[in-house]
Chains A and B, each alone.
Chain A
Amino acid sequence: MATSPYDVAVVGAGPAGLAAAAAALAGGARVALIDAGRQPGGQYWRHRPGDLGAVADLHHDLGAFRALVAGVAGAVRYFGQHVWNVSGSAADGFAVLTAETEVAARSLVLAPGAYDRQVPFRSWDLPGVYTAGGAQALLKGNEVLVGRRVVVGGTGPFLLPVAAGLAARGAHVAGVYEANAPAGWARHTAAVLPVAAKLTEGAGYAAALARHRVPFHSRRAVVAAHGEQAVEAVTVAKLDREWRIVPGSERIVECDAVAVGWGFTPQLELPLALGVATRVDADGSLVVEVDERQRTSVPGVYVAGEACGVGGAPLAVAEGEIAGTAAVAAPVPARLRRRRRALRRFAAAMHAVHPVRDGWQSWLGDDTLVCRCEEVTAGEVRAAVDDLGATDARTAKLLSRAGMGWCQGRVCGYATACLTASASGSATVSALDLQGVSERPIAVPISLGRLAGDAGHTGQQ
Protein backbone atom coordinates (compact mmCIF):
# COMPACT_ATOMS: atom_id res chain seq x y z
CA MET A 1 0.00 0.00 0.00
CA ALA A 2 1.21 3.50 -0.79
CA THR A 3 2.36 5.29 2.37
CA SER A 4 0.32 8.43 1.77
CA PRO A 5 -2.87 8.30 -0.26
CA TYR A 6 -3.35 10.28 -3.46
CA ASP A 7 -5.94 13.03 -3.46
CA VAL A 8 -7.55 11.49 -6.55
CA ALA A 9 -7.13 8.11 -8.24
CA VAL A 10 -8.38 8.08 -11.83
CA VAL A 11 -9.09 4.64 -13.29
CA GLY A 12 -8.99 4.70 -17.08
CA ALA A 13 -6.75 6.81 -19.33
CA GLY A 14 -9.11 7.19 -22.28
CA PRO A 15 -10.78 10.50 -23.16
CA ALA A 16 -12.74 10.79 -19.88
CA GLY A 17 -9.94 9.63 -17.57
CA LEU A 18 -7.30 11.85 -19.18
CA ALA A 19 -9.57 14.88 -18.90
CA ALA A 20 -10.39 14.06 -15.28
CA ALA A 21 -6.74 13.64 -14.33
CA ALA A 22 -5.74 16.86 -16.11
CA ALA A 23 -8.51 18.83 -14.37
CA ALA A 24 -7.65 17.42 -10.93
CA LEU A 25 -3.96 18.21 -11.47
CA ALA A 26 -4.85 21.74 -12.57
CA GLY A 27 -6.70 22.05 -9.27
CA GLY A 28 -3.50 21.22 -7.38
CA ALA A 29 -4.26 17.59 -6.48
CA ARG A 30 -1.87 14.64 -6.25
CA VAL A 31 -3.23 12.29 -8.90
CA ALA A 32 -2.72 8.60 -9.72
CA LEU A 33 -3.70 7.61 -13.28
CA ILE A 34 -4.29 3.88 -13.75
CA ASP A 35 -4.94 2.04 -17.01
CA ALA A 36 -4.69 -1.48 -18.41
CA GLY A 37 -3.10 -0.12 -21.58
CA ARG A 38 0.59 0.51 -21.96
CA GLN A 39 0.02 4.08 -23.11
CA PRO A 40 -2.71 6.71 -22.72
CA GLY A 41 -5.62 7.07 -25.12
CA GLY A 42 -7.98 4.23 -24.24
CA GLN A 43 -9.83 2.56 -27.10
CA TYR A 44 -10.61 5.85 -28.85
CA TRP A 45 -7.03 7.07 -29.23
CA ARG A 46 -5.50 3.59 -29.31
CA HIS A 47 -1.99 3.41 -30.73
CA ARG A 48 1.25 1.53 -30.32
CA PRO A 49 3.73 2.56 -27.64
CA GLY A 50 5.49 5.72 -28.75
CA ASP A 51 4.31 8.14 -31.38
CA LEU A 52 1.01 7.64 -33.15
CA GLY A 53 2.18 9.38 -36.30
CA ALA A 54 1.87 6.23 -38.41
CA VAL A 55 -1.85 5.98 -37.67
CA ALA A 56 -2.60 9.70 -37.33
CA ASP A 57 -4.90 9.63 -40.36
CA LEU A 58 -7.08 6.98 -38.65
CA HIS A 59 -7.60 9.17 -35.60
CA HIS A 60 -9.91 12.05 -34.86
CA ASP A 61 -9.20 15.11 -32.75
CA LEU A 62 -5.53 14.35 -32.12
CA GLY A 63 -4.97 17.96 -31.02
CA ALA A 64 -7.26 17.34 -28.05
CA PHE A 65 -5.44 14.08 -27.26
CA ARG A 66 -1.99 15.69 -27.27
CA ALA A 67 -3.22 18.55 -25.07
CA LEU A 68 -4.68 16.05 -22.58
CA VAL A 69 -1.48 13.99 -22.49
CA ALA A 70 0.48 17.18 -21.77
CA GLY A 71 -2.09 18.00 -19.10
CA VAL A 72 -1.52 14.73 -17.22
CA ALA A 73 2.27 15.03 -17.15
CA GLY A 74 2.11 15.59 -13.38
CA ALA A 75 0.15 12.40 -12.64
CA VAL A 76 1.79 9.27 -11.28
CA ARG A 77 1.11 6.68 -13.96
CA TYR A 78 0.17 3.09 -13.28
CA PHE A 79 -0.02 1.87 -16.88
CA GLY A 80 -0.25 -1.71 -18.08
CA GLN A 81 -2.07 -2.50 -14.81
CA HIS A 82 -5.42 -4.25 -14.83
CA VAL A 83 -7.66 -3.17 -11.95
CA TRP A 84 -9.40 -6.19 -10.45
CA ASN A 85 -11.21 -4.50 -7.58
CA VAL A 86 -11.95 -1.17 -5.93
CA SER A 87 -13.15 -0.74 -2.36
CA GLY A 88 -13.41 1.75 0.49
CA SER A 89 -15.33 4.90 1.35
CA ALA A 90 -14.89 8.66 1.54
CA ALA A 91 -14.42 8.35 5.32
CA ASP A 92 -11.78 5.61 5.26
CA GLY A 93 -10.26 6.22 1.84
CA PHE A 94 -10.40 4.11 -1.28
CA ALA A 95 -8.14 1.29 -2.49
CA VAL A 96 -7.63 0.44 -6.17
CA LEU A 97 -6.24 -3.07 -6.53
CA THR A 98 -4.26 -4.17 -9.55
CA ALA A 99 -2.43 -7.45 -10.11
CA GLU A 100 0.81 -5.67 -9.20
CA THR A 101 -0.04 -3.09 -6.57
CA GLU A 102 -2.57 -1.23 -4.47
CA VAL A 103 -3.25 2.49 -4.92
CA ALA A 104 -4.80 4.43 -2.02
CA ALA A 105 -6.78 7.64 -2.62
CA ARG A 106 -9.18 10.03 -0.90
CA SER A 107 -11.50 10.15 -3.90
CA LEU A 108 -12.03 8.13 -7.05
CA VAL A 109 -12.83 9.02 -10.63
CA LEU A 110 -13.83 5.91 -12.58
CA ALA A 111 -13.65 6.22 -16.36
CA PRO A 112 -13.76 2.58 -17.46
CA GLY A 113 -15.20 3.19 -20.94
CA ALA A 114 -17.14 0.67 -22.99
CA TYR A 115 -16.79 -2.16 -25.44
CA ASP A 116 -18.81 -3.25 -28.49
CA ARG A 117 -22.28 -4.52 -27.74
CA GLN A 118 -22.98 -7.77 -29.54
CA VAL A 119 -26.05 -9.69 -30.59
CA PRO A 120 -25.54 -13.27 -31.74
CA PHE A 121 -26.18 -14.55 -35.24
CA ARG A 122 -25.69 -17.95 -36.84
CA SER A 123 -22.03 -19.07 -36.78
CA TRP A 124 -20.84 -15.75 -35.38
CA ASP A 125 -18.17 -17.67 -33.50
CA LEU A 126 -16.28 -18.50 -36.72
CA PRO A 127 -12.74 -17.10 -36.78
CA GLY A 128 -12.71 -14.05 -39.03
CA VAL A 129 -15.81 -12.57 -37.36
CA TYR A 130 -14.60 -9.62 -35.27
CA THR A 131 -16.24 -6.94 -33.22
CA ALA A 132 -16.13 -3.58 -35.00
CA GLY A 133 -13.94 -2.31 -32.18
CA GLY A 134 -11.68 -5.34 -32.53
CA ALA A 135 -11.12 -4.62 -36.21
CA GLN A 136 -10.39 -1.02 -35.23
CA ALA A 137 -8.01 -2.06 -32.44
CA LEU A 138 -6.01 -4.30 -34.76
CA LEU A 139 -5.78 -1.43 -37.23
CA LYS A 140 -5.05 1.50 -34.89
CA GLY A 141 -3.05 -0.40 -32.31
CA ASN A 142 -1.18 -2.82 -34.55
CA GLU A 143 -1.56 -1.62 -38.15
CA VAL A 144 -3.00 -5.02 -39.06
CA LEU A 145 -5.99 -5.55 -41.38
CA VAL A 146 -8.49 -8.19 -40.25
CA GLY A 147 -9.00 -9.34 -43.85
CA ARG A 148 -8.71 -8.50 -47.52
CA ARG A 149 -12.44 -8.47 -48.22
CA VAL A 150 -14.39 -7.26 -45.22
CA VAL A 151 -18.11 -6.86 -44.46
CA VAL A 152 -19.00 -4.26 -41.80
CA GLY A 153 -22.38 -4.52 -40.07
CA GLY A 154 -24.51 -3.66 -37.06
CA THR A 155 -25.81 -0.25 -36.13
CA GLY A 156 -24.47 3.14 -35.10
CA PRO A 157 -22.15 5.88 -36.35
CA PHE A 158 -19.08 3.90 -35.22
CA LEU A 159 -19.43 1.58 -38.23
CA LEU A 160 -18.38 4.47 -40.52
CA PRO A 161 -14.86 5.14 -39.15
CA VAL A 162 -14.28 1.38 -38.94
CA ALA A 163 -15.16 0.91 -42.61
CA ALA A 164 -13.29 4.07 -43.66
CA GLY A 165 -10.16 2.97 -41.76
CA LEU A 166 -10.16 -0.51 -43.30
CA ALA A 167 -10.60 0.97 -46.78
CA ALA A 168 -7.89 3.58 -46.20
CA ARG A 169 -5.41 0.80 -45.40
CA GLY A 170 -6.25 -1.18 -48.55
CA ALA A 171 -8.98 -3.62 -47.52
CA HIS A 172 -11.84 -4.13 -49.94
CA VAL A 173 -14.89 -3.28 -47.84
CA ALA A 174 -17.63 -5.31 -49.50
CA GLY A 175 -20.33 -3.26 -47.83
CA VAL A 176 -21.55 -1.49 -44.69
CA TYR A 177 -24.83 -2.96 -43.48
CA GLU A 178 -26.58 -0.55 -41.08
CA ALA A 179 -29.67 -2.14 -39.54
CA ASN A 180 -31.36 1.22 -38.98
CA ALA A 181 -32.08 4.08 -41.38
CA PRO A 182 -29.70 7.05 -41.01
CA ALA A 183 -32.43 9.23 -42.59
CA GLY A 184 -33.87 9.17 -39.08
CA TRP A 185 -31.26 11.81 -38.17
CA ALA A 186 -33.37 14.35 -40.09
CA ARG A 187 -35.83 14.33 -37.18
CA HIS A 188 -33.09 15.38 -34.76
CA THR A 189 -31.61 18.54 -36.28
CA ALA A 190 -32.09 20.45 -33.02
CA ALA A 191 -29.81 17.98 -31.27
CA VAL A 192 -27.20 17.88 -34.03
CA LEU A 193 -26.79 21.55 -34.99
CA PRO A 194 -25.33 22.75 -31.65
CA VAL A 195 -22.52 20.19 -32.02
CA ALA A 196 -21.67 20.95 -35.65
CA ALA A 197 -18.32 19.13 -35.40
CA LYS A 198 -20.31 15.89 -35.37
CA LEU A 199 -21.78 16.76 -38.77
CA THR A 200 -18.34 17.52 -40.20
CA GLU A 201 -16.97 14.26 -38.81
CA GLY A 202 -19.85 12.22 -40.24
CA ALA A 203 -19.58 13.93 -43.62
CA GLY A 204 -15.84 13.16 -43.67
CA TYR A 205 -16.45 9.42 -43.21
CA ALA A 206 -19.23 9.42 -45.81
CA ALA A 207 -16.87 11.08 -48.29
CA ALA A 208 -14.14 8.54 -47.49
CA LEU A 209 -16.52 5.64 -48.09
CA ALA A 210 -17.66 7.17 -51.39
CA ARG A 211 -14.02 7.69 -52.45
CA HIS A 212 -13.25 4.02 -51.81
CA ARG A 213 -16.53 2.97 -53.47
CA VAL A 214 -17.79 1.27 -50.32
CA PRO A 215 -21.51 0.51 -50.68
CA PHE A 216 -23.64 1.61 -47.71
CA HIS A 217 -26.88 -0.31 -47.14
CA SER A 218 -29.45 0.79 -44.57
CA ARG A 219 -32.11 -1.43 -42.98
CA ARG A 220 -29.93 -4.43 -43.76
CA ALA A 221 -27.97 -6.68 -41.45
CA VAL A 222 -25.48 -9.52 -41.39
CA VAL A 223 -27.76 -12.33 -40.15
CA ALA A 224 -25.51 -15.40 -40.58
CA ALA A 225 -21.86 -16.31 -41.17
CA HIS A 226 -20.71 -19.27 -43.25
CA GLY A 227 -17.50 -21.29 -43.39
CA GLU A 228 -15.77 -24.38 -42.05
CA GLN A 229 -12.65 -23.30 -40.17
CA ALA A 230 -13.09 -19.55 -40.75
CA VAL A 231 -15.64 -17.20 -42.25
CA GLU A 232 -15.94 -17.46 -46.03
CA ALA A 233 -19.21 -15.59 -46.59
CA VAL A 234 -22.14 -14.01 -44.79
CA THR A 235 -25.86 -13.80 -45.39
CA VAL A 236 -27.17 -10.24 -45.42
CA ALA A 237 -30.87 -9.52 -45.42
CA LYS A 238 -33.29 -6.62 -45.49
CA LEU A 239 -35.04 -5.96 -42.18
CA ASP A 240 -38.52 -4.75 -41.43
CA ARG A 241 -39.19 -2.13 -38.73
CA GLU A 242 -38.91 -4.69 -35.95
CA TRP A 243 -35.74 -6.16 -37.49
CA ARG A 244 -37.36 -9.36 -38.74
CA ILE A 245 -35.89 -10.61 -42.00
CA VAL A 246 -37.91 -9.59 -45.06
CA PRO A 247 -38.60 -12.96 -46.73
CA GLY A 248 -36.68 -13.46 -49.97
CA SER A 249 -34.27 -10.58 -49.30
CA GLU A 250 -31.34 -12.76 -48.21
CA ARG A 251 -28.12 -12.44 -50.21
CA ILE A 252 -24.76 -14.20 -49.84
CA VAL A 253 -21.71 -11.91 -49.72
CA GLU A 254 -18.27 -13.51 -49.91
CA CYS A 255 -15.68 -12.17 -47.48
CA ASP A 256 -12.74 -13.28 -45.35
CA ALA A 257 -13.60 -11.06 -42.38
CA VAL A 258 -16.63 -9.46 -40.76
CA ALA A 259 -16.70 -6.54 -38.30
CA VAL A 260 -19.91 -6.18 -36.30
CA GLY A 261 -21.09 -3.86 -33.54
CA TRP A 262 -24.48 -2.86 -32.15
CA GLY A 263 -23.65 0.15 -30.04
CA PHE A 264 -21.60 -0.19 -26.87
CA THR A 265 -21.80 -1.75 -23.43
CA PRO A 266 -20.33 0.33 -20.60
CA GLN A 267 -17.84 -1.48 -18.34
CA LEU A 268 -19.57 -1.32 -15.00
CA GLU A 269 -17.89 -3.91 -12.79
CA LEU A 270 -15.80 -1.37 -10.85
CA PRO A 271 -18.62 1.13 -10.16
CA LEU A 272 -20.93 -1.78 -9.27
CA ALA A 273 -18.33 -3.14 -6.84
CA LEU A 274 -18.69 0.15 -4.91
CA GLY A 275 -22.48 -0.10 -4.93
CA VAL A 276 -23.30 3.00 -7.00
CA ALA A 277 -26.87 3.58 -8.18
CA THR A 278 -27.56 2.69 -11.81
CA ARG A 279 -30.26 3.19 -14.41
CA VAL A 280 -31.12 1.87 -17.88
CA ASP A 281 -30.15 4.41 -20.55
CA ALA A 282 -32.07 5.15 -23.77
CA ASP A 283 -29.92 2.61 -25.67
CA GLY A 284 -30.86 -0.19 -23.27
CA SER A 285 -27.49 -0.24 -21.51
CA LEU A 286 -27.05 -0.28 -17.75
CA VAL A 287 -25.24 2.98 -16.81
CA VAL A 288 -24.20 4.78 -13.63
CA GLU A 289 -26.48 7.49 -12.29
CA VAL A 290 -24.52 10.75 -11.83
CA ASP A 291 -25.47 14.32 -10.94
CA GLU A 292 -24.37 17.54 -12.68
CA ARG A 293 -20.93 17.24 -11.02
CA GLN A 294 -20.49 13.58 -12.12
CA ARG A 295 -21.02 12.46 -8.51
CA THR A 296 -22.42 8.97 -7.99
CA SER A 297 -24.65 7.88 -5.13
CA VAL A 298 -21.49 6.87 -3.20
CA PRO A 299 -19.71 9.89 -1.64
CA GLY A 300 -16.21 10.43 -3.02
CA VAL A 301 -16.85 8.35 -6.17
CA TYR A 302 -17.17 10.14 -9.52
CA VAL A 303 -17.86 8.45 -12.86
CA ALA A 304 -17.26 9.99 -16.28
CA GLY A 305 -17.58 8.95 -19.90
CA GLU A 306 -19.38 5.99 -21.45
CA ALA A 307 -20.07 4.38 -18.05
CA CYS A 308 -22.71 7.07 -17.38
CA GLY A 309 -24.25 6.77 -20.82
CA VAL A 310 -22.68 6.00 -24.21
CA GLY A 311 -22.10 9.30 -26.00
CA GLY A 312 -18.69 9.38 -27.68
CA ALA A 313 -15.29 10.90 -26.97
CA PRO A 314 -16.10 14.66 -26.88
CA LEU A 315 -18.81 14.03 -24.27
CA ALA A 316 -16.43 11.79 -22.32
CA VAL A 317 -13.81 14.59 -22.30
CA ALA A 318 -16.39 17.11 -21.03
CA GLU A 319 -17.58 14.73 -18.30
CA GLY A 320 -14.02 13.87 -17.32
CA GLU A 321 -13.14 17.54 -16.95
CA ILE A 322 -16.23 18.06 -14.79
CA ALA A 323 -15.45 15.01 -12.64
CA GLY A 324 -11.80 15.99 -12.12
CA THR A 325 -12.84 19.54 -11.26
CA ALA A 326 -15.53 18.38 -8.84
CA ALA A 327 -13.19 15.83 -7.22
CA VAL A 328 -10.93 18.68 -6.06
CA ALA A 329 -13.99 20.66 -4.89
CA ALA A 330 -13.48 23.41 -7.49
CA PRO A 331 -16.44 25.15 -9.16
CA VAL A 332 -17.53 23.61 -12.48
CA PRO A 333 -17.55 26.30 -15.22
CA ALA A 334 -20.94 26.94 -16.84
CA ARG A 335 -19.48 26.42 -20.35
CA LEU A 336 -18.64 22.80 -19.40
CA ARG A 337 -22.14 22.16 -18.14
CA ARG A 338 -23.59 23.63 -21.36
CA ARG A 339 -21.25 21.53 -23.51
CA ARG A 340 -22.20 18.36 -21.68
CA ARG A 341 -25.89 19.14 -22.06
CA ALA A 342 -25.53 19.69 -25.85
CA LEU A 343 -23.50 16.50 -26.31
CA ARG A 344 -25.94 14.50 -24.16
CA ARG A 345 -28.76 15.69 -26.45
CA PHE A 346 -26.74 14.49 -29.43
CA ALA A 347 -26.22 11.12 -27.73
CA ALA A 348 -29.96 10.81 -27.08
CA ALA A 349 -30.62 11.46 -30.78
CA MET A 350 -28.01 8.85 -31.69
CA HIS A 351 -29.74 6.27 -29.49
CA ALA A 352 -33.13 7.19 -31.00
CA VAL A 353 -31.84 6.74 -34.57
CA HIS A 354 -29.80 3.58 -33.86
CA PRO A 355 -31.84 1.37 -31.50
CA VAL A 356 -31.45 -2.41 -31.31
CA ARG A 357 -34.85 -3.95 -32.11
CA ASP A 358 -35.94 -7.32 -30.72
CA GLY A 359 -36.27 -8.82 -34.19
CA TRP A 360 -32.63 -9.98 -34.09
CA GLN A 361 -33.85 -12.82 -31.90
CA SER A 362 -35.78 -14.23 -34.87
CA TRP A 363 -32.52 -14.67 -36.84
CA LEU A 364 -31.27 -17.31 -34.42
CA GLY A 365 -31.69 -21.04 -34.72
CA ASP A 366 -32.07 -23.08 -31.53
CA ASP A 367 -28.47 -24.22 -32.14
CA THR A 368 -27.05 -20.68 -32.55
CA LEU A 369 -24.44 -19.94 -29.87
CA VAL A 370 -25.29 -17.12 -27.49
CA CYS A 371 -22.50 -17.62 -24.93
CA ARG A 372 -19.24 -18.17 -26.80
CA CYS A 373 -17.25 -19.15 -23.68
CA GLU A 374 -19.50 -21.87 -22.27
CA GLU A 375 -20.95 -22.68 -25.71
CA VAL A 376 -24.56 -22.18 -24.65
CA THR A 377 -27.12 -21.99 -27.46
CA ALA A 378 -30.19 -19.80 -27.89
CA GLY A 379 -32.29 -22.94 -27.43
CA GLU A 380 -30.64 -23.62 -24.07
CA VAL A 381 -31.20 -20.05 -22.85
CA ARG A 382 -34.87 -20.24 -23.90
CA ALA A 383 -35.21 -23.65 -22.24
CA ALA A 384 -33.98 -22.10 -18.97
CA VAL A 385 -37.09 -19.91 -19.14
CA ASP A 386 -39.62 -22.22 -20.82
CA ASP A 387 -38.72 -25.52 -19.11
CA LEU A 388 -36.88 -24.53 -15.93
CA GLY A 389 -38.89 -21.49 -14.92
CA ALA A 390 -36.30 -18.68 -15.00
CA THR A 391 -37.97 -15.27 -15.10
CA ASP A 392 -34.90 -13.03 -14.86
CA ALA A 393 -31.53 -12.90 -16.59
CA ARG A 394 -29.49 -13.93 -13.56
CA THR A 395 -31.51 -17.11 -13.05
CA ALA A 396 -31.37 -17.92 -16.76
CA LYS A 397 -27.60 -17.51 -16.53
CA LEU A 398 -27.30 -19.82 -13.53
CA LEU A 399 -29.48 -22.50 -15.15
CA SER A 400 -28.02 -22.35 -18.67
CA ARG A 401 -24.42 -21.30 -17.85
CA ALA A 402 -24.70 -18.46 -20.40
CA GLY A 403 -22.33 -15.78 -19.12
CA MET A 404 -20.49 -18.02 -16.65
CA GLY A 405 -17.33 -18.57 -18.67
CA TRP A 406 -14.07 -16.71 -19.13
CA CYS A 407 -15.57 -13.38 -20.19
CA GLN A 408 -18.14 -13.48 -17.37
CA GLY A 409 -21.00 -12.42 -19.62
CA ARG A 410 -19.36 -9.33 -21.06
CA VAL A 411 -20.10 -10.53 -24.60
CA CYS A 412 -23.42 -12.39 -24.16
CA GLY A 413 -24.88 -10.61 -21.11
CA TYR A 414 -27.00 -8.20 -23.13
CA ALA A 415 -28.29 -10.92 -25.48
CA THR A 416 -29.01 -13.30 -22.60
CA ALA A 417 -30.99 -10.57 -20.80
CA CYS A 418 -32.97 -9.77 -23.98
CA LEU A 419 -33.69 -13.45 -24.76
CA THR A 420 -34.78 -14.07 -21.17
CA ALA A 421 -37.09 -11.03 -21.17
CA SER A 422 -38.68 -12.12 -24.47
CA ALA A 423 -39.08 -15.76 -23.48
CA SER A 424 -40.63 -14.86 -20.13
CA GLY A 425 -43.01 -12.33 -21.68
CA SER A 426 -41.45 -9.18 -20.19
CA ALA A 427 -41.89 -6.07 -22.30
CA THR A 428 -38.45 -4.69 -21.53
CA VAL A 429 -35.11 -5.66 -20.01
CA SER A 430 -34.92 -4.28 -16.47
CA ALA A 431 -32.00 -2.71 -14.62
CA LEU A 432 -32.09 -5.73 -12.32
CA ASP A 433 -31.71 -8.07 -15.31
CA LEU A 434 -28.73 -6.10 -16.62
CA GLN A 435 -27.18 -5.82 -13.17
CA GLY A 436 -27.44 -9.59 -12.80
CA VAL A 437 -25.21 -10.08 -15.84
CA SER A 438 -22.88 -7.12 -15.13
CA GLU A 439 -21.60 -7.70 -11.58
CA ARG A 440 -18.15 -9.25 -11.47
CA PRO A 441 -16.58 -9.23 -8.00
CA ILE A 442 -13.20 -9.94 -9.57
CA ALA A 443 -13.02 -7.68 -12.61
CA VAL A 444 -10.04 -9.33 -14.35
CA PRO A 445 -8.27 -12.69 -13.90
CA ILE A 446 -5.73 -12.65 -11.09
CA SER A 447 -3.62 -15.29 -9.40
CA LEU A 448 -4.91 -17.08 -6.31
CA GLY A 449 -1.85 -15.76 -4.49
CA ARG A 450 -2.84 -12.15 -5.28
CA LEU A 451 -6.40 -12.85 -4.19
CA ALA A 452 -5.06 -14.23 -0.92
CA GLY A 453 -3.35 -10.89 -0.36
CA ASP A 454 0.23 -11.74 -1.32
CA ALA A 455 1.10 -8.84 -3.64
CA GLY A 456 4.50 -10.33 -4.36
CA HIS A 457 3.06 -13.55 -5.78
CA THR A 458 3.48 -13.91 -9.53
CA GLY A 459 2.06 -17.38 -10.09
CA GLN A 460 -0.31 -18.64 -12.76
CA GLN A 461 -3.71 -17.06 -13.26
Chain B
Amino acid sequence: MSAAFEFDGRDIAFTEGQTVGAALVAAGVRSWRTTRREGRPRGVFCGIGICFDCLVTIDDVPNQRACLVPADADSIVRSQEGDGRGHLAV
Protein backbone atom coordinates (compact mmCIF):
# COMPACT_ATOMS: atom_id res chain seq x y z
CA MET B 1 0.00 0.00 0.00
CA SER B 2 1.42 3.36 -1.00
CA ALA B 3 0.38 6.84 0.11
CA ALA B 4 1.99 10.25 0.51
CA PHE B 5 2.26 13.08 3.01
CA GLU B 6 3.00 16.73 2.33
CA PHE B 7 6.53 17.95 3.11
CA ASP B 8 7.44 21.60 2.44
CA GLY B 9 4.83 21.76 -0.33
CA ARG B 10 5.59 18.49 -2.09
CA ASP B 11 4.46 14.90 -1.80
CA ILE B 12 6.62 12.28 -0.08
CA ALA B 13 5.52 8.70 -0.76
CA PHE B 14 5.53 6.17 2.03
CA THR B 15 4.36 2.64 2.61
CA GLU B 16 2.31 1.43 5.56
CA GLY B 17 4.28 1.33 8.79
CA GLN B 18 7.16 3.57 7.73
CA THR B 19 8.15 6.53 9.86
CA VAL B 20 8.23 10.13 8.61
CA GLY B 21 12.03 10.09 8.80
CA ALA B 22 12.39 6.83 6.88
CA ALA B 23 10.05 8.07 4.13
CA LEU B 24 12.08 11.28 3.79
CA VAL B 25 15.36 9.32 3.56
CA ALA B 26 13.80 6.97 0.99
CA ALA B 27 12.77 10.03 -1.04
CA GLY B 28 16.37 11.28 -1.02
CA VAL B 29 15.77 14.05 1.52
CA ARG B 30 18.86 14.01 3.74
CA SER B 31 18.14 16.94 6.08
CA TRP B 32 15.10 18.90 7.29
CA ARG B 33 16.36 20.91 10.22
CA THR B 34 19.04 23.51 10.86
CA THR B 35 20.78 23.81 14.21
CA ARG B 36 20.25 26.73 16.57
CA ARG B 37 23.85 27.90 16.80
CA GLU B 38 25.58 27.29 13.48
CA GLY B 39 22.60 26.63 11.22
CA ARG B 40 24.02 23.23 10.30
CA PRO B 41 21.78 20.78 8.38
CA ARG B 42 20.47 17.74 10.25
CA GLY B 43 18.45 14.64 9.41
CA VAL B 44 18.29 11.10 10.80
CA PHE B 45 21.30 9.99 12.83
CA CYS B 46 20.35 7.32 15.39
CA GLY B 47 17.04 6.27 13.86
CA ILE B 48 15.65 5.01 17.18
CA GLY B 49 14.60 8.13 19.10
CA ILE B 50 17.80 8.61 21.09
CA CYS B 51 19.60 11.56 19.49
CA PHE B 52 16.89 14.13 18.62
CA ASP B 53 18.80 15.13 15.47
CA CYS B 54 15.83 14.43 13.17
CA LEU B 55 13.43 16.93 14.80
CA VAL B 56 10.73 18.15 12.43
CA THR B 57 7.48 20.10 12.54
CA ILE B 58 4.40 17.95 12.00
CA ASP B 59 0.93 19.54 11.86
CA ASP B 60 2.37 22.74 13.36
CA VAL B 61 3.86 20.94 16.38
CA PRO B 62 7.66 21.47 16.27
CA ASN B 63 10.42 19.20 17.59
CA GLN B 64 8.86 15.82 16.78
CA ARG B 65 11.30 12.97 16.27
CA ALA B 66 10.84 12.06 12.60
CA CYS B 67 12.37 8.63 13.20
CA LEU B 68 9.56 7.69 15.61
CA VAL B 69 6.41 9.30 14.19
CA PRO B 70 4.51 6.99 11.83
CA ALA B 71 3.95 8.52 8.40
CA ASP B 72 0.33 9.55 7.85
CA ALA B 73 -1.27 10.79 4.63
CA ASP B 74 -3.14 13.48 6.59
CA SER B 75 0.07 15.00 8.02
CA ILE B 76 1.63 18.24 6.89
CA VAL B 77 5.35 18.02 7.59
CA ARG B 78 7.61 21.07 7.54
CA SER B 79 11.35 21.45 7.90
CA GLN B 80 12.31 23.57 10.87
CA GLU B 81 14.92 26.15 11.78
CA GLY B 82 16.63 26.26 15.15
CA ASP B 83 14.27 25.48 18.00
CA GLY B 84 11.25 25.44 15.70
CA ARG B 85 9.57 28.19 17.64
CA GLY B 86 10.56 31.20 15.54
CA HIS B 87 6.91 32.20 15.40
CA LEU B 88 7.06 32.91 19.12
CA ALA B 89 9.95 35.36 18.78
CA VAL B 90 9.37 38.91 20.02
Contact = CB atoms under 8 A, between A and B. Distances in A.
Contact of B18 (A36, A144, A407): A144
Given A127-B30, A133-B46, A137-B67, A142 B61 contact: no
B51 interface: yes
A170 interface: no
Interface residues of A, number: 41
Interface stretch (A42-50, A177-185, A186-194): A42-50
A430 interface: no
B31 A131 contact: no
B20 to A, nearest CB: 10
B47 A138 contact: yes
Q: Is the interface of B mostly helix, strand, loop or mixed?
A: loop
Interface string B39-50: 011111111111
Interface in A402-461: 405-407, 410-411, 445, 460-461
Contacts of A146: 25, 44
A407 B31 contact: no
B81 interface: no
Contacts of A407: 50-52
Nearest to A116: B46
Nearest to B71: A142
Contact of A375 (B23, B26, B38, B51): B38
Interface of A: 36, 38, 43, 48-50, 115-116, 125-131, 133-138, 141-146, 229-230, 372-375, 405-407, 410-411, 445, 460-461
- What are the 9 closest A-B residue pairs judged by CB atoms, nearest first? A134-B47, A48-B17, A142-B22, A406-B52, A137-B47, A127-B30, A127-B31, A127-B43, A375-B37
6 contacts: A50-B17, A125-B42, A138-B22, A230-B30, A372-B45, A372-B51
Interface of B: 15-19, 21-23, 25-26, 30-31, 35-38, 40-53, 55, 61, 63, 67-68, 70
Given A125-B45, A374-B37, 5 more contacts: A128-B30, A138-B22, A144-B23, A229-B31, A372-B53
